[in-house]
């Protein structure tokens, strides 16, 4: 009996040693060989900014983009992946009026597999993010966002996701640019730490290859600085694999289509101009080949999807009654610089016409160039056009500053500013500047705002009020 127990114990020990040695093998997941070659096609949108509407020759719209993706999925359901690299919602009347619910519904119908959060998803606060995330049929990703001073991530975010495409297991890691909080209202972003992502990406890559048995891992990041991810193209000492097999970028609205150390990376401008595409060919649980390109949606996406048009139609009655209101006209093209000057002069007009709301009049007003998002062609100008140029819900602010603070505002706004007359000191021995809360909160970090008065008025509504009050026939910086 004792001999039998000894043999039984020895067998258990040897079995454990064998299993342990197998689990330490430098192959992903110790999976059975799979000699079949499978090509997985990844398609991604970045910085879509609510560009739902079709505008001939200018904007493809989500129904046409969606039809293109749906047709691909119908033909190759087991080898097609659809991703977003952030900033999907904020940017148009169509999306802003419902805080992204329309875009979310259409993404669900298209069949997105994941979405990385972008900085502008934070513009409406966490409640709006949670409301959209609850309705999503796909995960919202970011591995490097934490509540200030903690290692706790928001409950609406996951660091990565996995899913099967046929017999291939895919891992997608989400990330955002380190320090991206500077591109968010400080009153919102100050709740968070947006930390350097690479160590977290490396950590989750090792988990995905070794523990989750993924055949391929891609990174979808709301960050256009591809060079900061070069370390991820090296082999991990844990998995024996490159940390990522493909890289989808966003945030800077640029076009990238290149390869770094055998890892393809892509980004497709903004507002749905391009679809980013990476194809990974997999054999025996490893990527053996790849290709990458960007697809022009105006050239390739020319037919709307009935199912997506039906979703859009449910939202249109409320959208159209606001969007199509004519607020003025222009016989000339209005550039971003010109529109920035119009915005600044409108702030100047608003503050000085509503002295009951503000403590002082202003001589100078300015906005940030990044807040002016589009141009306007000659013809009638609608509220929807103004909305597309100024999509962010920025409040008008009167800030009190010293001479140094005034110089910083003047430098920051540059050609997007307006000066009614040479700025003079007020009765409080300070200068008074008209701006928006996004800019004044940036200046808070410089400790130059002595005080300020926030208005509930939104910039684009102030512009429309200035146009209407001056009965303008021809919109220009000089007519308001």
Using the 3D structure, point to which of 300, 317, 334 is the last residue of a domain. Answer: 317
Same domain, 306 and 329: no
Same domain, 403 and 333: yes
Same domain, 449 and 424: yes
- Tell me how far apart the alpha carbons of residues 315 and 332 are, in angstroms, rounded to a whole number: 32
Predicted TM-score of the model (pTM): 0.89
Same domain, 349 and 253: no
Same domain, 428 and 365: yes
Which phi and psi angles does 416 have, rounded to 5°?
-95, 15
Q: Classify strands 417-419 and 364-366 as parallel, antiparallel or unpaired.
A: antiparallel
DSSP-derived 3-state class of residue 373: coil
Report pLDDT digits (tens) over 137-189. Answer: 999 999 999 999 999 999 999 999 999 999 999 999 999 999 999 999 999 99
CA-wise closest residue to 340 among 140, 480, 170: 480
Same domain, 191 and 232: yes
Long-range contacts of 426-431, Cβ-Cβ distance < 8 Å, separation of 24 or more: 426/360, 426/400, 428/360, 428/400, 430/400, 430/401, 430/402, 431/363, 431/364, 431/400, 431/401, 431/402, 431/403, 431/405, 431/406
- Residue 25 is predicted with a pLDDT of 35
In a domain? residue 382: yes
- Residue 359 is predicted with a pLDDT of 85
In a domain? residue 221: yes
Using the 3D structure, point to which of 317, 335, 362 is the last residue of a domain. Answer: 317
Using the 3D structure, point to which of 317, 347, 373 is the last residue of a domain. Answer: 317
In a domain? residue 189: yes
- Residue 468 is predicted with a pLDDT of 86
- Residue 477 is predicted with a pLDDT of 65
Q: What total of structural domains would you count in the chain?
A: 2
Same domain, 53 and 168: yes
Same domain, 210 and 105: yes
In a domain? residue 9: no
Same domain, 144 and 265: yes
In a domain? residue 12: no
Same domain, 387 and 247: no
Same domain, 342 and 233: no
In a domain? residue 309: yes
- Tell me how far apart the alpha carbons of residues 121 and 473 are, in angstroms, rounded to a whole number: 37
- Residue 154 is predicted with a pLDDT of 98
In a domain? residue 332: yes
Same domain, 357 and 303: no
In a domain? residue 82: yes
- Full residue range of the structural domain in which residue 283 is found: 27-317
- Tell me how far apart the alpha carbons of residues 391 and 309 are, in angstroms, rounded to a whole number: 23
Q: How does DSSP classify residue 380? A: E
CATH number, domain at 418? 3.90.780.10
CATH number, domain at 207? 3.60.21.10
Going residue by residue through the chain, which has 480 residues, state the pLDDT in tens, using 9 for 90 and above: 444 444 444 444 334 333 333 333 334 445 788 889 999 999 999 999 999 999 999 999 999 999 999 999 999 999 999 999 999 999 999 999 999 999 999 999 999 999 999 999 999 999 999 999 999 999 999 999 999 999 999 999 999 999 999 999 999 999 999 999 999 999 999 999 999 999 999 999 999 999 999 999 999 999 999 999 999 999 999 999 999 999 999 999 999 999 999 999 999 999 999 999 999 999 999 999 999 999 999 999 999 999 999 999 999 999 998 999 999 888 899 999 999 999 999 999 999 999 889 989 999 999 999 999 999 999 999 999 999 999 999 999 999 999 999 999 999 999 999 999 999 999 999 999 999 999 999 998 888 878 889 999 999 999 999 988 875 555 666 666
């Amino acid at each position: 009996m004792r001999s039998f127990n000894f043999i039984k114990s020895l067998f258990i020990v040897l079995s454990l040693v064998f299993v342990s040695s197998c689990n330490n093998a430098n192959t992903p997941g110790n999976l059975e060989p799979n000699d079949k070659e499978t090509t997985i096609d990844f398609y991604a949108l970045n910085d879509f900014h609510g560009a739902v509407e079709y505008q001939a020759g200018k904007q493809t719209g989500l129904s046409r983009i969606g039809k293109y993706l749906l047709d691909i999925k119908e033909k190759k359901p087991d080898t097609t992946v659809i991703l977003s690299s952030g900033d999907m919602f904020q940017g148009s009347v169509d999306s802003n009026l419902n805080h992204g619910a329309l875009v979310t519904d259409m993404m669900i119908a298209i069949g997105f597999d994941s979405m990385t959060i972008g900085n502008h998803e934070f513009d409406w606060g966490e409640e709006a993010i949670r409301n959209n995330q609850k309705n999503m049929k796909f995960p919202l990703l970011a591995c490097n966002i934490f509540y200030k001073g903690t290692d706790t991530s928001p409950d609406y975010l996951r660091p990565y996701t996995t899913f099967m495409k046929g017999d291939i297991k895919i891992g997608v890691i989400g990330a955002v640019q380190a320090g991206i909080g500077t591109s968010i209202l400080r009153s919102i972003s100050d709740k968070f730490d947006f930390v350097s992502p690479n160590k977290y990406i490396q950590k989750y890559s090792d988990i995905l290859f070794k523990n989750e048995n993924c055949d391929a891992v891609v990174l979808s990041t709301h960050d256009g600085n591809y060079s900061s991810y070069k370390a991820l193209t090296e082999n991990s000492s844990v998995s024996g694999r490159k940390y990522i097999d493909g890289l989808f970028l966003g945030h800077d609205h640029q076009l990238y289509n290149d390869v770094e150390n055998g890892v393809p990376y892509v980004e497709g401008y903004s507002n749905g101009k391009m679809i980013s595409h990476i194809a990974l060919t997999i054999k025996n649980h490893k990527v053996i080949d790849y290709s990458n390109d960007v697809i022009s949606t105006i050239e390739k996406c020319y037919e709307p999807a009935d199912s997506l048009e039906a979703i859009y139609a449910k939202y249109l009655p409320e959208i159209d009654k606001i969007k199509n209101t004519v607020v003025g006209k222009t016989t000339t093209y209005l550039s971003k610089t010109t529109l920035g000057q119009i915005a600044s002069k409108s702030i100047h007009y608003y503050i000085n016409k509503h002295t009951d709301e503000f403590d002082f009049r202003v001589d100078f007003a300015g906005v940030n160039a990044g807040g002016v998002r589009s141009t306007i062609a000659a013809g009638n100008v609608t509220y929807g056009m103004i909305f597309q140029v100024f999509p962010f819900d920025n409040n008008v602010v009167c800030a009190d500053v010293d001479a140094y603070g005034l110089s910083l505002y003047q430098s920051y706004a540059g050609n997007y500013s307006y000066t009614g007359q040479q700025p003079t000191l007020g009765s409080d021995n300070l200068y008074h500047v008209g701006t928006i809360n996004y800019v004044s909160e940036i200046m808070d970090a410089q400790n130059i705002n002595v005080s300020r008065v926030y208005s509930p008025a939104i910039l684009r509504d102030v512009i429309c009020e200035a146009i209407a009050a001056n009965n303008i026939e021809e919109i220009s910086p000089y007519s308001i």
